[in-house]
Each structure stands twice: as structure tokens, then as C-alpha cells.
Amino acid sequence: MQLAGEKPSHIIAPAIHKSRDDVADLFVQHHKTPRKTDIGELTMEARKFLREHFLSGEMGISGGNFLIAETGSLMLVTNEGNGRMTTTLPRVHVAITGIEKVLPTLEDASCILRLLTRSATGQSISNYVTLNTGPKRPGDLDGPEEMHVIIVDAGRTGLLGTDMQEALRCIRCGACMNHCPVYQNIGGHAYGWVYPGPIGSVLTPNYIGLENAIDLPNAATLCNQCGVVCPVKIPLPDLMRKLREKQVDRGLRPWQERLGLKLWAWVAKRPGIYALVTRIAARVGRSVGGADRMIHRLPGNGWTEGRDLPAPAGKTFRELYAERKRS
């Protein structure tokens, strides 16, 4: 991601949107080496160029999956091992993590670890689970001379005691975005900040201000796939709905949208008018779709600025259902 000048697109798989060919092209551009497409060879090339940084770095900076109050330990969970080189090889280790990552005991951490790995990658346990408890002691063969832990608030305490507090239970497994139909179609970068997917649609507005993330609570179908799969049972659809209500209460939605919803509500309350309008809309949409049955540009619709929209069938669901029932 650093070589590409991009931000991560997923909480646990930051380069999930990159193909093998994308990685090969980046390595040719930055490493000036012959192009490779074999995954093993690409891995060895990455190791070759990264290892010198690990060995020469004076300070390693890591995150932290959990902080354990009982022992003062930092738990780090990875699948590639670079986390351990970051925390043990440099002279100074700095860990940065949120205040909601503090757990009371090792037993609590063990329970949450099982939830995290199975929900994130389907493993019983990750390849590397590391417990760091302070700097290197006399007689230790490796480890940093200094260890510092930075506990970040950044809006988290502001959620305590509010109707958004349940979002702080998140263990960053990524399960919600793995199952979200919206995330699957638009990708992580569309969310515009650190956290993508359904949990990002809740956390980001609360951390940076609802007015600064106006569209995120609406980037959901409220199908509850995320709520069902969440291992710590965060009611994500409910929280997004509450954020939508706050947008309306504060008048943050565009006037065109508010007017459109009022018109839709008026029509939806009148079945005869609703049936007529939907019949007309279905036929107009079908004609706009053309021969390939795809709408390439829809005025005032941001989706069609970068994507095509499938055209309607030309008939409403009720018409199609009636035809099928007769046949």
C-alpha cells in the first residue's frame, strides 16, 4: 500500500484489492528487478527488501490487538510475522492502540482471541500471537531496550454512556465488511477514512463528526448481515439507523433528498398512485437502459458516475408476479 501510495482497504487484509499482477508491477517500478508473477518469488522479494529495514531500524511502531490490565501486556496478532520483527529487533518499541482495547485478564484475552481469529480468517488461532510485557530483561536474548504504549482516545470516551456505546465492543475482525453487500461492491477506499465497512459507517461519524461523514450511515441496505455475523453482537444496523435519525433531526441531509423522501412518502401512502408511478418508472428505466440493459448515467446519481446501474425489467414486480401466476 505504501509503494502504491494508497490507504488500506480492509481492516485485516489491507491489500485485498490488489492482484498478483498489481504487486508484480509495483515491485518492478520500485525495486527495479525483473518482473515476477510467482507468489513464492514475490514473497521472497518482499522479504529481501523489507528485512534490511527491520534490521537497521532504531524504533519499531506497532499496533496492539489488546492490552491486558492483569499483567500489563500487549497482545499482537498477525499472520505474517513482521509484527514480531517490529517489536523485538529495534532498540525502541512503541505500541499505539485505542483505549477500548484494554481487557481485564489473560483469560478474557484468550476468549476474545478465539472470537477474533475465527471471525477474521476462519482460523482457530493466528500464525503469530505475541504477548509483550515490557522491555528486555537481563538474560533475555532479544527484545527492545525501551517499550512505550500510547493509548488513543480520539473520540472514544465521547461514546461512553450514549446510544452509540455498543460500537466500542468492536474487536476489528473485519467480519462485518466480509459479509456486507455494499462493501463488496464499492470497496474499502470509498469510505474515506480509517475504518471501512459497516463498523466504519458507525465509528467514523462518531469520531470525526456526523456532519463530516454525512453519507456513511446511509451506505447500507440494513440487511443485518453485519449484525448477524458480528462476534461481539454489535447491533450495527440499529446504530446506523440512529445516525440517520440524527442527520434528519439536525437537518444535515440535502434539501433535494428531504423533498424527494416527502414526495415518496406521499405516493407510498396511496396504493393506486404508487402502482401507476412504479409502472411508468419501470418502463422509462427499461428504455433508458438501451440494448445492453444498463443505465450508464443517471442525473443526480453518484453511483453511475463510476459504475453502471442495471436497468429495470420494464415491468413492476407485481406485474411480473401476476404473469407468472397466470402461466
Full-model pTM: 0.81
Question: How far is Cα of residue 73 from the mean position of the Cα atoms in its chain?
Answer: 27
List the one residue out of 73, 148, 153, 149 whose CA is nearest residue 110.
73
Q: Where in the chain is the domain with CATH 3.40.50.10420?
A: 58-152
Task: Classify 164-249 by CATH class.
Answer: mainly alpha
pLDDT in the model for residue 289? 86
225 and 180 Cβ atoms separated by less than 8 Å: yes
CA distance 22 to 4: 9
Q: Where in the chain is the domain with CATH 1.10.1060.10?
A: 164-249
For 212-260, the pLDDT digits (tens) are 999 999 999 999 999 999 999 999 999 999 999 999 899 898 888 889 8
pLDDT in the model for residue 327? 85
Fold of domain 58-152: Rossmann fold (3.40.50)
For 259-283, the pLDDT digits (tens) are 988 999 999 999 999 999 999 999 9
Residue with cell 461512553: 160
Number of H helices, E strands in the chain: 12, 9
List the one residue out of 230, 235, 320, 216 whose CA is nearest residue 278.
320
